[in-house]
Amino acid sequence: MGSQEVLGQAARLASSGLLMQVLFRLITFVLNAFILRFLSKEIVGVVNVRLTLLYSTTIFLAREAFRRACLSGGAQQDWSQTLNLVWLTVPLGVFWSLFLGWVWLQLLEVPDPDVIPHYRTGVVLFGLSAVVELLGEPFWVLAQAHMFIKLKVITESLSVILKSVLTAFLVLWVPHWGLYIFSLAQLFYTTILVLCYVIYFTKLLSSPESTKQQTLPVSRITDLLPSITRSRNFVNWKEAKLTWSFFKQSFLKQILTEGERYMMTFLNILNFGDQGVYDIVNNLGSLVARLIFQPIEESFYIFFAKVLEREKHATLQKQEDFAVAAMVLESLLKLALLAGLTITVFGFAYSQLALDIYGGAMLSSGSGPVLLRSYCLYVLLLAINGVTECFTFAAMSKEEVDRYNVTMLALSSSFLVLSCILTHWCGSVGFILANCFNMGIRITQSLFFIHRYYRESPYRPLAGLYLSPVLLGVFALSGGITGVSEVLLCCEQGWPARLAHVAVGAFCLGMTLGIACLTETKLVHFLRTQLGMSRLTDKTT
């Protein structure tokens, strides 16, 4: 498969993921806003911080390394060995679920059962839901490797919506169930997720016509199960060693990703109510990151992993693929920078209004607006880091991944120390500031790698991080206008004034996007080209 064809499929995957996730997330956003009206901050804190951390830690430690290693295989990949390796996520998930469940029940503070009932049952069911989700991992890896465009997005979005509907129904009709509600909804979510993948592949592989069209490496649903033969090893040891390298890295990355939740959980820095407010603001602030940046990162990681050979020096790569990768990286960096700046500039003046609409006075008063404004800056760093790391992890050799793990260890340690200092100084905002610092260091590491990678070539993809002075001036002007508008029109003057504030923001946003289209013509051409390629790919599949 040529680099241009892979690029077209990656663009289609990203654009389809973006559009469909916007629709499904909008529905989920409305349902969650409804649910918040019936919950206490303490319940939200325990569910969204304590129990969700148990689930996410189990999932991340059990599968993240396997995903990265197994999606890096080349054209000669032996899929029976790859699937055998992926199935090891299940026993690993059982181990982490049991171990972390014991920690959550025996070593952590148990919430007051009169305020938050059924905590122990919640721990068990959230751990079980993580194991259930891992049962669908072989299907997910196969779908991602062959770029099944809509399957992942529809499956995950449908599961999230059904989970939100079930939660809303139970909160409304049996609110006294407490954590039973969220535990059952979580288990329901993972079950639906796995069933969707199993049903899809069962139908696909039972249809001879579909099987021929998709050219899958398996012909029966039973081929996805673990298989043992004497003629070859159970797993590909090269993939297994790469998995171990990624596992060491993923363990450290998890500390950086969820560090503030670990500190809240193990050090009791914030009470459950404050944890609830922080987590709601964190989820709201990361909504755009999940909608826009995550589909791009996941799709183009596959692109870079397919067009660049991991163990080859840059000068030994296929020059056509090498050039295409540089062009794509430059455009993605520019897109991430523009999107992140837009969120930072406009999010500052509209944070309080967004929180008031989403959760009422519980969120818009107190520390909520300051948290969300700080998070808008963090989103800018998230956007850039997502693109730089997706290239870096796809291009690094195993030895470079191992060396990077040392850096991640230092970052993890500094994050914990910095978080302790900043939270004592400025409360929960300190978590976001510590995350910004560590994200900046990670970006710097990736930028150094990219610079070295293309140093001996005529390509300079890091030019994507430069914006024209005119566009930067428009961003600054828009930030000033919307800031004044917030002081004069929002958020105590009623809805007519709020709507006027929104209108001012819409005008400034339109002006900024218009100037961006005029000054960043190279990016506009790239987006138009990829949109055309994704449409062409859509017609031919």
pLDDT at residue 238, as a whole number: 81
pLDDT at residue 184, as a whole number: 95
What letter would DSSP give residue 269? -
CB 51 within 8 A of CB 123: yes
Closest by Cα among 147, 211, 139 to 5 = 147
CB 443 within 8 A of CB 385: yes
Per-residue pLDDT reduced to its tens digit, 111-142: 888 888 899 999 999 999 999 999 999 999 88
CB contact set of 196 (below 8 Å; sequence gap of 6+): 154, 155, 158, 159
Per-residue pLDDT reduced to its tens digit, 315-349: 777 888 888 889 999 999 999 999 999 999 999 99
Secondary structure of residue 504 in the 3-state scheme: helix
Alpha carbon distance 9, 147 (integer Å) = 7
Q: Count CB-CB contacts under 10 A for residue 317.
A: 18
SS3 content of the chain, % helix, strand, coil (to 5): 85, 0, 15
Copy the structure tokens of residue 90: 């299940």
pLDDT at residue 53, as a whole number: 93
Per-residue pLDDT reduced to its tens digit, 416-470: 888 888 888 888 888 899 889 989 999 999 999 999 999 888 889 999 999 999 9
Alpha carbon distance 241, 233 (integer Å) = 14
CB 29 within 8 A of CB 352: no
Ranges of residues in the chain whose predicted pLDDT is under 70: 1-26, 28, 72-77, 149, 208-214, 230-231, 531-541
Per-residue pLDDT reduced to its tens digit, 89-110: 999 999 999 999 999 999 998 8
CB contact set of 527 (below 8 Å; sequence gap of 6+): 331, 335
- What's the pTM value of the predicted model, to 2 decimals? 0.72
What is the DSSP annotation of 210-244? HHHHHT-S-SSGGGGS----TTS-SS-HHHHHHHH
